[in-house]
Chains A and B, each alone.
Chain A
Amino acid sequence: MSKTASLAASSYIESQILEFRAIYERIFTTQHLRYIVELGINAVWSKPEVIEGVYIPGPQDLGPQFLGTIERPGLREDSPEVTIRISIPRPPLPSETKQTDAPWRPQARLGRLFAASPMAYEYIRFQAEMRRKRHAGRRNRMTAISFNKGADLLPDAQRPETTQRPAALIGMHWLETGGAEKLGFDTIRWALESGLRVFVVASVPSLQRYADRLPDHPDVTFIRLDRWLPHHLWARFVEKLVLQENIALVHNHHCIPFYELLPLLRSRMPWVKTIDSTHIVEHADGGYPRISGVWSNYLDVQHVISGELVDYMQGQFNAPPSKVVLGRMLDRKDGQIPMPDLRLQAGQKTLHVAFVGRMYYQKRPVVVVETLRALDVWAKKNNVAFSATMVGEGPFEHAVTRLLRRYGLGSKVAQLPGNTDVPALLEQSDILILPSNNEGLALVCYEAITHGCIPISSRVGSQDELLPDDLLVPAQPYQGVRQTVFAIDRMFNDNSFLQRQKDGIRAKWQKLSADPTAEEVLKPIYRAAVEDALGD
């Protein structure tokens, strides 16, 4: 009987066991550990359950998926027992590697409406979002939690002696595609360049498809807490990690459990510098900037990427100006950010439109298709050869493909996966459209301008810091489509209007370029953390 599959499976299981044991045995160093291991039925999450104290196995532990038990004796014979019930996620299927979310479908009651008029459906959903936004502030805390450092009478906890080189702990939302994630990856690189060892964790269980993009460096360690450890135990793990690995700095990129760690760090490890980076004030509940604002008294530095967020932190949460630092997501090469050369010319006879974004509702893929449809009609009337490219993956992919076919756009609109060479695409595109429910300052707009492509975006977030008024369109679906076509029509037929837009973009670009970049504000903080750690 062939054993090939068995050997591959066994080696997978063994590697997974090593991963979770390393995590639990860092938390429970002296206890007697009993692992009850199952083979999981999903590819992402291990459903861990930790029971401290005596635990008697029941039939629920020995079901069809039961793999076996592992014992790690405690330091003493009477060490307390800890039982960890855990399942090993199965390897992902190719379809899951591509996309873990189920394909999007319209809400059951509104399915017929979507079939009859996708835009009417979008309009209703948009109105519902706006309503949620209006009511959001009433439900969520909108003031900073107070923090009292304590009286000088009692001494602060002191950094323990260590021979370890200092390290940074970087908390990501997940290691998937996205603007916030791109900044996270950059900060990992900057931390390494600043002399820190780097530990990376992600808060949201997922396949972490971009994990292979982490620097291939012995000082970078990705710890899969997202897969193996329940959030309520993160503080205990981080406490041990900070002390054992000489963590000098914790940088949070949209990693919720890291905010909950702040009281622990402030009270027991006050020497650890705490930073977060935020991007978007989100509609429903304010999103990460609101959470950051609520914890602002516990953070040493609040890094934001737009002027809007500086005002938000200082205005809404009374964060001190010295704490809120603006660092743009721009790359200054050789000390310069080159002035963009925008290609579109009035009266040209071709139009290539690009859309780059994950196919989630936030990016309004249905509105993108409707915009492309309206532009196709416009192009026919104006004798312009129209084509478009949509880049991105997500639950809306299938719905987009069907809509494009239904509107007869299948041959004019190319759909490409997320790993497409976006700069090359933008070099060949005249216009980038970005309908969106919420944005910080969309990275793809920076990229588009750098490559000579004019963005037209929904008027959300801080997009007005990058684009002139006429290139910002309402987020309301019908108006957004109409205004996008109107703006393109004017740029094609009115050269002075086009020049005004180009001048407007250049002026905004120049203003943004004068601001510090994220690298310029964060690297000094990282270096200071290294010096502090070594100085102590």
Chain B
Amino acid sequence: MSVLNKTAAVIVTFNRSEKLMKVLDALAAQTMRPDIVLVVNNASTDDTAEMVEARAKTDPSIRHLKLPSNVGGAGGFHAGMKAAYQMGAQYFWISDDDAYPEPDAIERLYSALNEFQSQNEWRPSFACSRVEWIDGSLCEMNCPRTVWDWARFVQPDKPWALVDSCSFVSVMIPRWAVAEHGLPIADYFIWFDDAEYTRRIARSYPGIFVPESRVVHDTPDNRGVNFGLVDEKSLWKFKYGARNETSFRRREGGLMNVLAYAYGVRNQMRANDVPHRLRREVYGSIIKGLSFRPKIEQAE
């Protein structure tokens, strides 16, 4: 119901003040400005705090949520959504500190969510943007996952495919979904928190992909999430990803589902000749994931 439309943007940041300011600039230029811009500062050690506080003096919509320690992206989104929920937001626009929304990105998401419900009676559990890399190509790591009947309501002028999973880069989530399904899992720390959360809320009804809402994701390179890409530098993230996805699959699909996942990871690493030492580390994380059962916290 669009009669209540208090919107909160939740941006999680860590030591990227320059990019964060560009995000705040983009938010200030939105055709539908969020009522609250909640910057969740993951205990940054650069000048993020000073920059945000200076900006907040001239922009009353900005709130600065300083976390005492770095709890990862997952912990940051958890804390940010929890705070925004308590502030009474009806819509949560969730994004990274290096993703710049086009001026109408938020309005398009909001309109699509409401028009979809108005026309089809179903309530999408989220609406996500088309995420582009800095050269205008699709950002590999932010491609949403469609459901089998994704084309059910697609129209030439409303090309909103049904999706059940997306990243936390420009996604709008209505309050009812948070009230029914709780908050993202903070204990994941990083990786797979967004996929787990959107799949969880999509149990009520899938989300929609809104290609006319666009954001630019300013990452150093445009790489997808593939275990064939594991190297020394990125190993730590892949280990979190493997543990978290294993935990999710164990919860939702049981041991057979975990085995199928492990088999897929193995094939990806073999096909790309990932060194055996790194492979062993990833397998270790999968084993850890079997007994990793983080609690899902409800919003209050």
Residues of A within 8 A of B (CB): 1-2, 4-6, 8-10, 12-13, 39, 41, 63-65, 67, 90-91, 93-94, 97
Contacts and interface: CB of A to CB of B under 8 A. Distances in A.
B149 to A, nearest CB: 14
Q: Which of B3, B115, B117, B175 has the most CB of A within 10 A?
A: B3
Nearest to B86: A64
Contact of A64 (B1, B3, B6, B123): B6
Contacts of B32: 1
A1 B3 contact: no
Contacts of A67: 3-4
Given A41-B179, A94-B121, A9 B2 contact: yes
Contact of B3 (A9, A63, A94, A97): A9
Given A1-B31, A1-B32, A94-B121, A9 B111 contact: no
Nearest to A97: B121
B3 A6 contact: yes
Given A6-B114, A67-B3, A41 B121 contact: no
A453 to B, nearest CB: 37
Contact of A90 (B1, B88, B90, B114): B1
B89 A4 contact: no
A93 B125 CA distance: 13
Q: Can you list the 6 inter-chain pairs with the closest CB atoms, starting with the nearest? A: A5-B114, A64-B88, A5-B118, A2-B111, A5-B2, A6-B2
B107 A1 contact: yes
B176 interface: yes
21 contacts: A1-B31, A1-B32, A1-B107, A1-B111, A4-B115, A5-B2, A5-B111, A5-B114, A5-B118, A10-B3, A12-B1, A13-B3, A41-B179, A63-B88, A64-B6, A64-B90, A91-B121, A93-B121, A93-B123, A93-B205, A97-B121
Contacts of B110: 1
B236 interface: no
B122 interface: yes
A39 B1 contact: yes
Interface in B107-153: 107, 110-111, 114-115, 117-118, 121-123
Contacts of B175: 64
Given A2-B115, A5-B115, A5-B117, A41 B176 contact: yes
A8 B3 CA distance: 10
B209 to A, nearest CB: 18
Interface string B93-117: 0000000000000010011001101
B89 A64 contact: yes
Contacts of A93: 121-123, 205
Nearest to B113: A5
Contact of B118 (A4, A63, A97): A4
Contacts of B2: 5-6, 9
Interface residues of B, number: 24
B40 to A, nearest CB: 20
B4 A65 contact: yes
Contacts of A6: 2-3, 114
B160 to A, nearest CB: 13
A2 B90 CA distance: 18
B69 to A, nearest CB: 29
Contacts of B4: 39, 64-65, 67
A424 to B, nearest CB: 29
A8 B115 CA distance: 10
A473 B116 CA distance: 51
Contacts of A63: 88
B107 A9 contact: no
Q: Which of A6, A39, A63 has the most CB of B within 10 A?
A: A6
Contacts of B90: 64
Contacts of B122: 93-94
Contacts of A65: 4
Nearest to B112: A2
A4 B89 CA distance: 21
Interface in B162-199: 175-176, 179
Contacts of B118: 4-5, 8-9
Interface string B1-41: 11110100000000000000000000000011000000000
Contacts of B123: 93
Nearest to B123: A93
A65 B2 CA distance: 12
Contacts of B6: 64
A295 B21 CA distance: 73
B277 to A, nearest CB: 44
A41 B88 CA distance: 14
A469 to B, nearest CB: 50
Given A1-B107, A94-B121, A9 B1 contact: yes
Given A9-B1, A9-B2, A39-B3, 18 more contacts: A1-B31, A1-B107, A2-B111, A2-B115, A4-B115, A4-B118, A5-B114, A39-B1, A39-B4, A63-B88, A64-B4, A64-B6, A64-B175, A67-B4, A93-B121, A93-B122, A93-B205, A94-B121
A2 B110 CA distance: 9
Contacts of A13: 1, 3
A97 to B, nearest CB: 8
A4 B117 CA distance: 11
A373 B106 CA distance: 55
A6 B118 CA distance: 9
Contacts of B31: 1
B178 to A, nearest CB: 11
Nearest to A5: B114
A12 B114 CA distance: 14
Contacts of A4: 114-115, 118
A266 B114 CA distance: 51
B104 to A, nearest CB: 9
Contacts of A91: 1, 121
B110 to A, nearest CB: 8
Residue picked from B32, B107, B111, B205, most chain A C-beta under 10 Å: B111
Most B CB atoms within 10 A — which of A9, A10, A91?
Answer: A9
Contacts of B179: 41
B265 to A, nearest CB: 32
A379 B90 CA distance: 59
A97 B121 CA distance: 10
A5 B117 CA distance: 8
Contacts of B107: 1
Contacts of B114: 2, 4-6, 9
